[in-house]
Amino acid sequence: MHVRNGLLAVLLLGPAYTQQLAREYARRSGAPINSGQVSGTLERLARDGMVEPAGTDGAGRRRHGLSLDGRSAVEAWAESGVDEDSGAVLPLLASVDGALAVGYASARLALLRTAVDAPTETGWPEALQRERSRALAAAEAHWLASATAELADDETRYELPLAEEPRRGRPQRSA
C-alpha cells in the first residue's frame, strides 16, 4: 500500500498530528511506519493540496486535516482497487470507513477475476509463472469475497475512532 493513500484514509477520521498518524497507520494496516516517513509524506501531500493545516492540539502539536481534494483522492483510490496489498488496505479501510472498504474489495475482486480468467502462456517458464499468478489471485479473491460478505452485513463493524493520547508520567496511586 502506498503510505500516501493510507495516511489520507486515516485523516478521514479527522485532524491528527504526525506521531498520531504514524501510530494509527500501523494500528490499522499492520505495517509499521516511522514518523520521519510520515512527515515527508505530509509535506508532499500539503504541497499537492491534499492536506491542510488544522491548528494545534492542547500540547502544541501541529495537526493536519484532509482537504476536499484529499478526500476525493482517497475515494478514487479505494474505488479503483488497484492497490495490490489488500492484506493491509482492506483492514485499514474497514477501520476508517466500511463503505470505502466494500468499494475497494469489490473493485479489487473484479480486477482479480480478470487476472484469473486471462489466457495461459504457451511456453514452459511463462506457463508456470502464469499458473502461480492465477493461484495467488484466486486465493486473494476468495479472501476478499469472504471479507466483503462480512462487511456487507454491517459496514461499520470494524470502524475505530482515533486512539486516545496515552497519559504521560507515573500512574496515579489509589488511596
pLDDT score recorded for residue 65: 96
Q: What is the pLDDT of residue 173?
A: 63
3-state secondary structure of 65: strand
The 3-state DSSP class for residue 134 equals helix
Task: Round to the nearest angstrom and report the end-to-end CA distance of the chain.
Answer: 49
Q: What CATH architecture is 3-153?
A: Orthogonal Bundle (1.10)
For 76-86, how does the pLDDT look when each residue is reduced to its tens digit (9 = 90+)?
999 998 877 88
* Pairing mode, strands 62-66 and 51-56: antiparallel
* Percent of the chain whose pLDDT exceeds 70: 87
The overall pTM is greater than 0.75? yes
List the grid coordinates of 76: 478514487
Question: What local confidence, expressed as pLDDT, does residue 175 receive?
Answer: 55
**Domain edges within the chain:** 3-153
Q: What is the pLDDT of residues 44-78, one digit of tens each?
A: 999 999 999 999 988 899 999 999 999 999 999 99
